[in-house]
Amino acid sequence: MSITPWWRSAVVYEAYIRSFADGNGDGLGDIPGLRSRLPYLADVGVDAIWITPWYPSPMADAGYDVADYRSIDPRFGTLAEARALLTDAHDLGIRVLLDIVPNHTSDQHPWFVAAVRAGRGSPERARYLFREGRGRGGSRPPNNWVSVFGGSAWTRVRERDGKPGEWYLHLFAPEQPDLDWSQPDVRTDFETTLRFWFDLGLDGFRIDVAHSLIKAGGLPDIPADMQDGVSGRPAGHPHWDRDEVHDLYRRWRSIGNSYDEPRIFVAEAWVDEPERLARYVRRDELHTAFNFEFLQTAWLAPPLRNTIERTLTEHARVGAPPTWVLSNHDVVRSVSRYAREQTGDRMIFLENLLGKPADATLGLRRARAAALLMLALPGGAYIYQGEELGLQEVEDLPTEALTDPTWERSGRTRRGRDGCRVPLPWDGDRPPYGFGAGPGHPWLPQPDTWAEHTVAAQRDQPDSTLSLYREALRIRHLHPALGDGSLRWLPAPDGALAFAREPRFRCYVNVSAAPLALPVKSTVLLASGPLDAARMLPPDTAVWVDQAA
């Protein structure tokens, strides 16, 4: 009998370390805080956690600017504490993934410091993408690429003679210079980093912007029809989703496979076409890749079904399980997205939502239904911390509290992602809600209205969102139909989705239809909201039932 590898069905919890739990009371989440809350995660029932970057960093982009890949920022803890965390998590049956950030380093990384100092044409500069500028005196950037956070993707350095010199590429903030992955020592050094953490007991990595490492030779201008910021549409973009990136991941897979218990990877690759995404999870490449199409799909039955079908088809073609995700630390929380009218417009950033009327109760109903839909689909799923508490985006953070580089780089027009990163509420009725024991204020202010959302307030409430997630994960572990596998669509009225997974499992989602009668001979396992006395499924509600074929 073959045993299905754990990662094909895993529910992974994203622990955004800065905001999860603060062990030393300085206002910033850390490893001791995370460690102390592992029993909570075991109780929720997750299979694994993904920890966002804990490396030494000047924090220009909340830790995604890494100054040393084989060490830990003292604000987050020590290597000994990381080891203890791995041991404790494993003892609780929880696997641990960590972020790796290979597209760029921090500008404080010794390689970049040396590159600036060493000057034009040096081997130190060859690890990054330094180029001469265009125009008179090289005063214009080498090409038209733009930073994801706003503005040009190029910054000019001063050479040792004090004069303006070469420009370097940064697809994100200027403090995040892009590496040149055609350099052998860049490749070798990252392989050493992978092994360093794997040897320590880490179970896998989430690869940051996995689709951006390789740039087109000659760094050509981006054609006008491809200027869309983050994604790789259409194929052939000079820096997103280049075909050559796949060789790299074949190599990484072989490193993961060299361990007795193979180590795994999940790709963060924002590509628009399910077919392009599936290329990252071909049999000899990465294990899984986030399906961002799903979190960008409006709460409307036809596009939801279309996204699910296309994802299933393309993943089946390469033999990989899909990875469903409703939120993460880069996008507006699902409750707040679903609180808006669902028009099909892109709604993942705050600027897409502000000014649109919100109905928070409706948003929560939909988010709960979406959770049951996601957790019933074939494959694995990621839960972003606070999703299990039904937290909303904090849309009105005072501007002086904003830390996301997007805010300044967009000329203060885009508030950025801080609103989904506000520290978690654990207990109590006022900030810091048990986030940290000490006098330090949480690094982002928490709303006064979160008392009813704390873990303590929800833990023993059978109808709380926390109870819904816990019960869903409990059923998911026990039910032989759930996790890896396939589904069969069932007839459903317009505005609803229905599918079967064998043996005996049915999921009905009323997205926007009239109340839906459940089959007579079925037993409700779990519902995202109350059914009425006649067992009718109201709109914005999902249900799992047991039903003979």
Interacting residues toward ligand NOJ by CB under 6 A: 61, 64, 101, 172, 208-209, 268, 329-330
Pairing relationship of beta strands 496-501 and 488-489 according to DSSP bridges: antiparallel
Closest approach of Cβ 488 to ligand NOJ, in Å?
Answer: 35
Closest approach of Cβ 1 to ligand NOJ, in Å?
Answer: 38
φ and ψ of 355, to 5 deg = 90, -15
Closest-CA residue to 306 (of 294, 291, 318, 315): 294
Residue 87 Cα distances to 84, 263, 351, angstroms: 5, 16, 42
Exactly one of 91, 132, 243, 261 is catalytic; which is it?
Answer: 261
Nearest-angstrom CA–CA distance, 545 and 549: 12
Q: Which is nearer to ligand NOJ, 206 or 453 (CB)?
A: 206
Exactly one of 14, 22, 99, 208 is catalytic; which is it?
Answer: 208
Closest approach of Cβ 168 to ligand NOJ, in Å?
Answer: 16
Q: Which is nearer to ligand NOJ, 55 or 64 (CB)?
A: 64
Q: Which residues pair with 520 in a beta bridge?
A: none
Q: What is the 3-state secondary structure (H, E, C) of 37-101?
A: CHHHHHHHCCCEEEECCCCCCCCCCCCCCCCCCCCCCCCCCCHHHHHHHHHHHHHCCCEEEEEEC
Closest approach of Cβ 42 to ligand NOJ, in Å?
Answer: 25
Contact 391, 334 (CB under 8 A): no
Closest approach of Cβ 439 to ligand NOJ, in Å?
Answer: 28
Q: In the annotation, is 494 catalytic?
A: no
Closest approach of Cβ 209 to ligand NOJ, in Å?
Answer: 5
Q: Which is nearer to ligand NOJ, 241 or 540 (CB)?
A: 241
Closest approach of Cβ 387 to ligand NOJ, in Å?
Answer: 16
Helical packing angle, 79-91 and 184-200, nearest 10°:
60
Radius of gyration of the CA atoms of the chain, in A: 23
Q: Which is nearer to ligand NOJ, 37 or 329 (CB)?
A: 329
Q: What is the 3-state secondary structure (H, E, C) of 112-162?
A: HHHHHHHCCCCHHHHCECEECCECHHHCECCCCCECCCCCECEEEEECCCC
Q: Which is nearer to ligand NOJ, 253 or 329 (CB)?
A: 329
Nearest-angstrom CA–CA distance, 413 and 352: 12
Q: H or E segment at 306?
A: helix 301-318
Report DSSP letters for 312-347, one per residue: HHHHHHHT---EEES--TTS--HHHHHTS---SS--
Q: Which residues pair with 501 in a beta bridge?
A: 505
Q: In the annotation, is 225 catalytic?
A: no
Q: Which is nearer to ligand NOJ, 297 or 328 (CB)?
A: 328
Q: Which is nearer to ligand NOJ, 54 or 450 (CB)?
A: 54
Q: Which residue is nearest to ligand NOJ (CB)?
A: 64
Nearest-angstrom CA–CA distance, 180 and 217: 11
Residues with catalytic annotation?
Answer: 208, 261
